[in-house]
Amino acid sequence: MRSSGFTLVELLVVISVAALVAALLFPVFAGVRGQARATVCGTRIRNLTTALLTYEAQRGSFPHGHGGLGKGPPPTGYLGNPLVDRMGWWWFNLAEIVESRSWRDLEILRCPSRRQENPMLDPDILCGNYGVNWSLCKSASYPGPYAEQFVGSPLSSTDVPEPGATLLLVDSGYSLISWWHAAKEPPVEFGSSIQDAAYIPGLEINEERKLWPGQTRDAIGGRHPNKTVNVGFVDGHVARKKASELLVEKTGEDDYDYSPLWGPK
């Protein structure tokens, strides 16, 4: 009389089938999770874009990307790593987007798909999350090329001829980013400062860029499915774009085709 239990062979067959089904479904589940995280990211960029536009409507211009050096530490304290980041107030401090260091308050600044694998950079809010367009949210200083484009008074939406086509906020390797970081043929090497290592996640040219340890998967592999990024525009709308659509081509000896996406000429 046959036992009602499984034989060893039958058990192994069941385990093999279950493992095969799991292997087939894992990429599907991973893709669904990736899409879900990208959607949450888009919502956060939408909220941040709205906050920046609200500030601009009230003050007449966007906040500085980095500034407020004479104001003392911001209410949150410095959210970067003082060993690599410049001290001071950042756009999210100046626009009063975050007012404390609580996890709940800072969550809006975190991309849920960030891939920072460097223990030094992982807790750094400035790295691997979102960056404002440096051409619009100008700073008090800029330690790099084309400083005249990134230093001075921030612009307002009325200074932007094509607000529906001009980037305000984007998935980024650093809290400040500019067309210079998306240029295919920069005339000089990027420096060693963390600001110079800003990048658009998934952009092909990042393979030849100087990256900080732990940024490779994010910068080269991309952050969202199909190497897409979420972009908030000056008119307030948010769109998912292929990273390649943000590439800046060199058109002459010292000329680049970065307008209108990265700002007015």
Q: Looking at residue 122, what is its pLDDT?
A: 78
The b-or-e profile of 194-220 (16+ CB within 10 A means b, else e) is bbbbbbbbbbebbeebebbebbeebbb
CA distance 60 to 34: 38
Contact 92, 68 (CB under 8 A): no
Using a pLDDT cut of 70, give the percent of the chain over it. Answer: 85
Q: Which residue matches tokens 């307030």?
A: 236
pTM: 0.86
Confidence category of residue 28, pLDDT binned at 50, 70, 90: very low
**Residues 117-128, buried b or exposed e (16+ Cβ, 10 A)?**
eeeebeebbbbb
Q: Tens digit of pLDDT for each residue in 61-101?
A: 999 999 876 778 888 888 888 888 888 899 999 999 988 88
The tens digit of pLDDT for each residue in 133-176 reads 999 999 987 767 788 899 999 999 999 999 999 999 999 999 99
Higher-pLDDT residue of 8, 216: 216
Structure tokens at 127: 């790295």
Amino acid identity, residue 218?
A: D
